[in-house]
A and B are shown apart, each in its own frame.
Chain A
Amino acid sequence: DQQVKQNSPSLSVQEGRISILNCDYTNSMFDYFLWYKKYPAEGPTFLISISSIKDKNEDGRFTVFLNKSAKHLSLHIVPSQPGDSAVYFCVGGGADGLTFGKGTHLIIQP
């Protein structure tokens, strides 16, 4: 049973435009959500998090939106830059630790 679902294995966005990565979850017990970014041959890097009691958190070019009623969250990257090309993991956090989605490969086109 996949508790965190990222239904788009890949996403291609033009440099300078907005990247929107989507994530759905089924576990209502998650206390918080995180986004991690991963380059090949490196460990995941923490990007941004949001508590389950919030609906938005912003940090520079990155904004995460949480819609609890829809069990949906999204990561917005504005403007997208070439260095943003990576795999992005949506992660649910709770008493059982972190649960990773399968990841979305974001490709920023010049």
Chain B
Amino acid sequence: DTEVTQTPKHLVMGMTNKKSLKCEQHMGHRAMYWYKQKAKKPPELMFVYSYEKLSINESVPSRFSPECPNSSLLNLHLHALQPEDSALYLCASSQDWTPYEQYFGPGTRLTVT
């Protein structure tokens, strides 16, 4: 099973809402990632969790709050987002932090109104 699942597939939220994105993998991978992808741009790394601990935060605004409840799950909590935060949010996992290939989920298409 090389699948990374993400829910929801689509999310529309207002600027005052609080919502969460969920990601799950059952490959026994010890590293998990959040990326943000805008249209016609490559994915940009937001956060890296390694062995359930946050190891990289790429200067992401605090309105994005990651959480890793266990080795299979990764959440991204959203609060007070801006319209420019609208994007495809991708979750990925890999066997370990580096130098392993990452497996991506299908993404959550987020629209902030």
B30 nearest CB across to chain A (Å) = 14
Q: Is A49 close to B, CB under 8 A?
A: yes
> What per-residue 1/0 map shows which CB atoms of B85-107 lie under 8 Å from chain A?
00000111000011101111111
Q: Is B102 a contact of A98 with CB atoms below 8 Å?
A: yes
Q: Is A95 a contact of B101 with CB atoms below 8 Å?
A: no
Residues of A within 8 A of B6 (CB): 43
Number of interface residues of A (CB under 8 A): 21
Chain B: CB-nearest residue to A89: B42
Q: Which of B33, B41, B101 has the most chain A CB atoms inside 10 A of its CB?
A: B101
Q: Which of B4, B90, B98, B103 contacts A95 (CB 8 A)?
A: B98
Q: Is B48 close to A, CB under 8 A?
A: yes
B92 nearest CB across to chain A (Å) = 8
Q: Is A8 close to B, CB under 8 A?
A: no
How many contacting A-B pairs (Cβ < 8 A)? 49
Q: Is A58 close to B, CB under 8 A?
A: no
Q: Is A44 close to B, CB under 8 A?
A: yes
A97-B56, A98-B45 in contact; A43/B4 too (CB < 8 A)? yes
Residues of B within 8 A of A41 (CB): 106-107, 109
A97-B48, A97-B56 in contact; A44/B43 too (CB < 8 A)? yes
* Chain B contacts to A: CB under 8 angstroms: 4, 6, 33, 41-43, 45, 48, 56, 90-92, 97-99, 101-107, 109
In the assembled complex, 22 residue pairs joining A and B whose CB atoms fall closer than 8 Å, in A order, are A31-B98, A41-B109, A42-B106, A42-B107, A43-B6, A43-B90, A43-B92, A43-B104, A43-B105, A43-B106, A43-B107, A44-B43, A45-B104, A46-B104, A89-B42, A89-B43, A94-B98, A98-B102, A100-B42, A100-B43, A102-B42, A103-B42
* Chain A contacts to B: CB under 8 angstroms: 31-32, 34, 36, 41-46, 49, 89, 93-95, 97-98, 100-103
Closest 9 CB pairs of A and B: A43-B104, A100-B42, A46-B101, A44-B104, A43-B106, A43-B107, A31-B99, A32-B99, A43-B105
